[in-house]
Amino acid sequence: MKTNKKSKNLIGIIQSFLILILVVLIIFMMIQISRLQGTARVINYAGLVRGATQREVKLEITGNQNEELIKYLDDIFLGLRYQDGHYDLVKLNDEEYQGKLKIQSDYWDKLKTEIEAVRNKGYENTDIVNMSEIYFTMADETVSAAESYSEKIAIKIRTIELLSALDMLILVILVIMQTLKAMQMAMQNRLLEQKAFVDAHTGLPNKNACNELLNKKDIITGSTACIMFDLNNLKTVNDTMGHSAGDQLILNFAKLLCSVIPEKDFVGRYGGDEFIAVIYHTSEAEIKEILKSLSREKERKLGFGILMALLSLFVFNMDLEARKTWATGKHGIKVLILCTGNTCRSQMAHGFMASYGDDVAVYSGGVSAEKRVNPRAVMVMREMGIDISDHTPHQVDEYLNEDWDYVITVCDHAKETCPVFNGKVKHLLHMGYEDPSKATGSYDFIMSEFRRIRDQINDDFFKLYTSMEERK
């Protein structure tokens, strides 16, 4: 991670440096271009001086005086040397050119003196012809110097263009490298996320994804059901037919769930042999139909007899009258679960029994009820997709004047004094469990004890619930 960060910082520094260089190159290029802009005009007028002077000499030899042409040449020289005059000429910052131009300009003054001599004495008595030839050679050298200066600037501009292109190419390469690296990181993150939330064997959401969904309070926006499935005979299949057969069974069952559960709903693998389905905006009739479809299809598609815990959590939004019926126990079996403090075992049993079906009204209490439910009990129950965080411990005395189908004590006979219930009850049962809240040691060990007792309670109370259903 540190190496990647250092590499990223280094690339950033290089990019900043390259951008700075590019800015400098562009500024330098603009300067050179501005220098080059007036050079062509200077070369042109330097050539005009050469030709116009020869014309002036010819006119003077033939006796045709032309003061305007002389003034024209003077103005050009003034503009070339001092960036002055009427022709918008620039002064080239080149020593060789300026030296040649000065020599030519000084010789032009001598040539003008010789032109006056031609007018007074006639050209035969002057050196005008020879001086004209010398002047022409000087003009050629001045033009050549201006052209050489122009070529130097052009070479600089081409060099800057090449350096700028190379700079931009390196920048593009670095950007591409960063983009590819970012894409690679994004792909790695997607793979990590997939590993974190997707079961590799079935392709379904894994336990992490299931818990994340179940911990969202806003998933229940209407009548919503949560069903947990347990392939209880998976170990037998693995032992008798091999792990490959067990793996195939898990895969086939996953496909079966996906084929029966509507696509709009959620299907995930909660554990090794446990699956979960969350069905939104549903009804009791729809859930029963789904379970019937699973029952019809399981033998045909799986090829093995599967024992399923069909319904682990079932939540419905009920109207007021339905809630009253539920509370009075008129809609099914009325169960009371008791222990000492009503904070752990009885609360877990309460949560499991309530989750098996909507035909059981479940309550719990204790002989010395404490202030709140044990947080570790809440945690391990949440792992099963059951939330008991809103449960409140109650005194057993609150229930003495009510009629009960079942009263079940879950305290440990060997270590505790179980509550004695003197109310009206059809079936008084005892299903004793160790108190996990008494466990000592590391955090992991204590949590493992809570999970062990939780699983024992789930197995025993599901069997009890099944027998209740058969008895009805």
For residue 34, name the pLDDT band (cuts at 50, 70, 90): confident
The answer to whether 18 and 170 have CB atoms below 8 angstroms apart is: yes
Cα separation, 206 vs 200, whole angstroms: 8
For residue 358, name the pLDDT band (cuts at 50, 70, 90): confident
For residue 220, name the pLDDT band (cuts at 50, 70, 90): low
418 is catalytic: yes
pLDDT value at residue 96: 92
Helix (H) or strand (E) holding 224: strand 224-230
pLDDT value at residue 470: 58
pLDDT value at residue 300: 59
For residue 211, name the pLDDT band (cuts at 50, 70, 90): confident
Exposure letters 397-427 (e unless 16+ CB within 10 A, then b):
eebeeeebbbbbbbbbeeebebbebeeebee
217 DSSP assignment: G
Instruction: Specify burial of residue 43 (Cβ count, 10 A radius: 0-12, 13-18, 19+).
Output: buried
Top pLDDT among 364 and 11 is at 364
pLDDT value at residue 299: 56
320-471 maps to which CATH number? 3.40.50.2300
Top pLDDT among 471 and 219 is at 219
Task: With a cut of 80, say whether residue 234 has pLDDT above it.
Answer: no
For residue 325, name the pLDDT band (cuts at 50, 70, 90): very low
pLDDT value at residue 408: 94
Task: With a cut of 70, say whether residue 236 has pLDDT above it.
Answer: yes
Candidates 210, 226, 339, 344; catalytic one: 339
Cα separation, 229 vs 232, whole angstroms: 9
SS3 for 276? strand
Cα separation, 410 vs 431, whole angstroms: 5
207-315 maps to which CATH number? 3.30.70.270
Residues 6+ apart with CB under 8 A from 78: 84, 85
Task: With a cut of 90, say whether residue 336 has pLDDT above it.
Answer: yes
Candidates 210, 226, 344, 411; catalytic one: 411
Q: Please state the rounded mean pLDDT for residues 152-177.
A: 90
Say which residue the tokens 């479940």 belong to: 362
- Provide the residue ranges of all domains of the chain, joining segments of one domain with +: 2-178, 207-315, 320-471
Could you tell me the CA-to-CA distances from 378 to 152, 214, 301, 314, 388 in Å, in that order? 85, 13, 37, 18, 6
Q: Please state the rounded mean pLDDT for residues 425-437.
A: 92
Mean per-residue pLDDT over the chain, rounded: 82
For residue 413, name the pLDDT band (cuts at 50, 70, 90): low
The answer to whether 342 and 394 have CB atoms below 8 angstroms apart is: yes
Please report the beta strands in 285-432, taking only residues with DSSP state E, as ranges in sequence order: 313-315, 333-339, 360-366, 403-409, 424-430
For residue 184, name the pLDDT band (cuts at 50, 70, 90): confident
For residue 469, name the pLDDT band (cuts at 50, 70, 90): low
**pLDDT tens-place string over residues 127-152:** 999 999 999 999 999 999 989 988 98
